[in-house]
């Protein structure tokens, strides 16, 4: 059986103390939808499609009345729009490198997030405002919000990094109790349907947390724009989206006990977001099924909310298969080893109350075609300085032509990025997606780190380098060498919100004899303001022995020939924070979060924890009063050891005395310690032997209220 690797003493593993832009609310149009935070109650059927362009015109009029008739920058750049009849919305998404998993294809969590994002964009395209609950005027007066009741997703073919997925969505009335939203997913390159999904939503009283029937007033506001004739993503009779999920009987055949929410799992109301439950359900799938089958169908019925202090058990039983596919069409029953069905239950460890129940269907994938492309996995060793900018567009074009791929890919043609004219750096713009923002209603630091990785990967691709997840040269592959992160330093001066557009410029260069470095500058595309900077250092490691190795002359010739001759630094200031040494954290720590356990979604394609997960773990031991009153300004991490799925990790934190200089090295008046700025030292270490995994430093600034 799968069991949680949490030590016996830490049922919950709580934080322990050992010692010493939100947009101003606009006048709400009927069927209002608000800014959606990561994991905020997702956009439900309330954003129903209008019955034609008249509704779109009405939406435009509503925006004009509020003084925002001109489309936002995000709306102008987004690859989506209402269809001609105004009854549905389509948007295309390029799958990012960090959104794929151990199978080198997009994870089901990625799919669920994109479904949420296209729903948010649909609402925005109709002119609705966004507050995270998709409430109408009557709903707000009555204190009602929408909550998910059921989610059903079927994936026939998973997209890989760089694939372009087109998602169409619409919504409609669903009886007297609520609403539903449907989606169809296609491969934009060939129009093939690769997935479908549907969801059901009900109204809940925000104060009593009890479900409530949709009143006539709310129905008039919500469903006036819904199609009169139902349109279903799953029109088949007895399809899997309608199939009842039975209760899971004890004892379960497989279990993963003691799952605990992380801060990154929480929505802006301090509840666990819907997508996290998907990952928790999959935690109790047996490993041999994970290794040999891929998820085709998942259905979840949501029953109770989960909060930060809860402990969750994930239980799984094998369900006997049926003679019909989950979409209801007749098919020959595959061999048992080719298809497996499971029943699932998430429940509170404390009292056994059911949080949700689910069903999954997994099938053994077909044999890969010859010449399969190795794709970048979520958290794969991120693209380091090896993807150095070529000394001009001619070199990049020649490299691609030599490889037989001179014509740009669909993703390259649609992507909002390109090499700069001198060919020495790369810029790309990203629209902040609704699920990428957190409890402060702005992008999380994990989102920023992921985007830095994505722009590095796209830089590499733009200069014609192949992408295998390790950014290796010919000589490196012969010698079994890869790049690994040694240090990451990020400073954020202003966090972007959902719908903001961030422009990121990146370049890389030689860094002494031991490795390479990559730098980034982040700007608000709307006004050109620099909102952040980052730098990283990478060293070479033997993939088999896992030992560091000096960069040889042959590798240097391959890697650094395209690097700028004159160093260009994101942090040119003398004694800047990116260079500052991080001291060892002595025992006992002032704050700790013990017993952190990796999830499958945290692993890269080599079954190691990805770099961004460490950032979240470090922040787990920050005291809650700092989280409530401050926001992260600077984070520096030194990576020392790898962590795998079976490891248990302790997160330790110390208060560090402030300095008279800001972290970017420029002189500034020292802020009042308790009021404006707090500095902390951090250490992640293995619970079993105390060996250090990484050490870090964070600087927090007071939130402006």
Catalytic residue numbers, as ranges: 606, 608, 643
User: Which class for 305: exposed (0-12), middle (13-18), buried (19 or more C-beta within 10 A)?
Assistant: middle
Q: How far apart are CA 70 and CA 76, in angstroms?
A: 10
Please report which helix (H) or strand (E) contains residue 504, including its range.
Answer: strand 501-511
φ, ψ of residue 410 to 5 degrees: the values are -60, -45
Taking a C-beta distance cutoff of 8 angstroms, is the pair 426, 458 a contact? Answer: yes
H-helix segments, 211-273: 216-222
CB 31 within 8 Å of CB 128: yes
Give the integer Cα–Cα distance in Å for 428 and 504.
5
What dihedral angle (degrees, nearest 10) is formed by the CA atoms of 55, 59, 65, 67?
-150
Report the alpha-carbon distance of residue 299 to residue 153 in Å, rounded: 6
Query: What's the half-sphere exposure (Cβ side, CA atoms, 13 Å) at 39?
Result: 27
Q: How many secondary structure helices (H) and strands (E) does the chain include?
A: 14, 25
d(CA 670, CA 522): 25
| 225's tokens | 């724009």
What is the spatial distance between Cα 308 and Cα 621, in angstroms, rounded to a whole number?
13
Using DSSP's 3-state secondary structure scheme, residue 561 falls into helix
At 56, which helix (H) or strand (E)?
helix 53-65
How far, in Å, CA of 438 to CA of 445, rounded?
9
Please state, in angstroms and as integers, the Cα–Cα distance from residue 356 to each residue in 4, 246, 302, 313, 340, following that order: 19, 11, 5, 11, 21
Contact 595, 687 (CB under 8 A): yes
3-state secondary structure of 572: coil
User: If 0-12 CB within 10 Å is exposed, 13-18 middle and 19+ buried, where does residue 369 land?
Assistant: exposed
Note whether 115 and 180 are within 8 A (CB).
no
Q: Which of 195, 229, 259, 146 is nearest to 598 (CA)?
A: 259
- The string of DSSP codes covering 338-353 is GEEEEEEEEEETTT--
- Report the Cα 196 to chain-centroid distance in Å: 21
Look at the chain and count its residues. Answer: 705
């Amino acid at each position: 059986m799968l069991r949680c690797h949490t030590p016996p003493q830490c049922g919950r593993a709580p934080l322990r103390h050992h010692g010493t832009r939100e947009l101003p609310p606009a006048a709400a149009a009927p069927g209002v939808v608000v800014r959606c935070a990561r994991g905020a109650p997702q956009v439900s059927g309330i954003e129903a499609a209008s019955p034609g362009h008249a509704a779109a015109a009405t939406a435009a009029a509503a925006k004009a009345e509020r003084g925002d008739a001109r489309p936002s920058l995000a709306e102008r750049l987004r690859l989506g729009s209402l269809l001609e009849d105004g009854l549905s919305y389509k948007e295309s998404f390029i799958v990012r490198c960090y959104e794929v998993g151990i199978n080198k294809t997009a994870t089901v969590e990625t799919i669920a997030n994109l479904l949420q994002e296209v729903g948010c964009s649909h609402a925005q395209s109709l002119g609705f405002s966004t507050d995270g609950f998709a409430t109408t005027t009557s709903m707000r007066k009555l204190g009602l919000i929408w909550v998910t009741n059921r989610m059903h997703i079927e994936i026939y073919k998973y997209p890989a990094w760089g694939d372009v997925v087109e998602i169409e969505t619409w919504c409609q009335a669903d009886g007297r109790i609520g609403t539903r939203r449907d989606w169809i997913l296609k491969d934009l390159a060939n129009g093939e349907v690769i997935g479908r999904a549907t969801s059901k939503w009900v109204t809940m009283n925000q104060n009593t947390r009890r479900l409530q029937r949709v009143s006539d007033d709310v129905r008039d506001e919500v469903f006036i724009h819904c199609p009169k004739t139902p349109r279903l993503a799953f029109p088949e009779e007895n399809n899997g989206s309608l199939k009842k999920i039975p209760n899971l009987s004890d004892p379960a055949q497989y279990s993963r006990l003691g799952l605990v929410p992380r801060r990154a799992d929480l929505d802006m109301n301090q509840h666990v977001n819907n997508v996290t439950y998907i990952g928790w359900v999959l935690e109790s799938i047996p490993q041999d099924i994970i290794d040999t089958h891929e998820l085709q169908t998942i259905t979840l019925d949501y029953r109770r909310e989960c909060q930060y202090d809860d402990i969750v058990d994930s239980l799984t039983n094998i369900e006997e298969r049926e003679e019909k596919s989950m979409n209801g069409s007749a098919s020959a029953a595959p061999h048992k080893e080719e298809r497996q069905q499971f029943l699932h239950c998430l429940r509170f460890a404390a009292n056994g109350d059911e949080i949700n129940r689910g069903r999954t269907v997994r099938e053994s994938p077909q044999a890969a075609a010859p010449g399969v492309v190795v794709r970048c996995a979520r958290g794969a060793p991120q693209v380091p300085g090896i993807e150095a900018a070529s000394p001009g567009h001619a070199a990049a074009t020649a490299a691609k032509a030599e490889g037989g791929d001179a014509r740009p890919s669909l993703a390259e043609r649609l992507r909002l990025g390109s090499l700069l004219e001198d060919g020495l750096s790369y810029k790309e713009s990203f629209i902040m997606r609704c699920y990428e923002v957190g409890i402060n209603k702005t992008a999380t630091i994990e989102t920023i780190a992921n985007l830095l990785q994505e722009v590095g990967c796209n830089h590499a691709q733009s200069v014609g380098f192949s992408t295998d997840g390790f950014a290796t040269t010919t000589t490196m592959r012969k010698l079994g060498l890869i790049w690994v992160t040694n240090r990451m330093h990020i400073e954020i001066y202003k966090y972007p919100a959902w719908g903001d557009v961030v422009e990121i410029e990146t370049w890389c260069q030689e860094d002494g004899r031991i490795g390479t470095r990559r730098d980034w500058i982040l700007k608000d595309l709307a006004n050109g303001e620099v909102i952040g900077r980052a730098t990283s250092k990478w060293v070479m490691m033997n993939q088999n022995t896992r030992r560091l190795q000096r960069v040889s002359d042959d590798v240097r010739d391959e890697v650094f020939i395209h690097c700028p001759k004159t160093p260009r630094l994101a942090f040119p200031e003398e004694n800047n924070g990116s260079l500052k040494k991080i001291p060892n954290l002595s025992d006992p720590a002032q704050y700790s979060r013990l017993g952190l356990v990796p999830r499958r979604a945290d692993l890269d394609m080599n079954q190691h924890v990805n770099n961004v997960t460490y950032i979240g773990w470090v922040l787990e031991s920050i005291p809650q009063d700092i989280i409530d009153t401050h926001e992260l300004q600077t984070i520096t991490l030194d990576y020392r050891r790898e962590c795998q799925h079976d490891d248990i990790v302790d997160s330790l934190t110390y208060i560090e005395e402030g300095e008279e200089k800001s972290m970017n090295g420029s002189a500034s008046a020292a802020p009042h310690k308790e009021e404006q700025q707090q500095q902390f030292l951090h250490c992640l270490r293995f619970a079993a032997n105390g060996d250090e995994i990484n050490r870090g430093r964070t600087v927090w600034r007071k939130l402006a209220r």
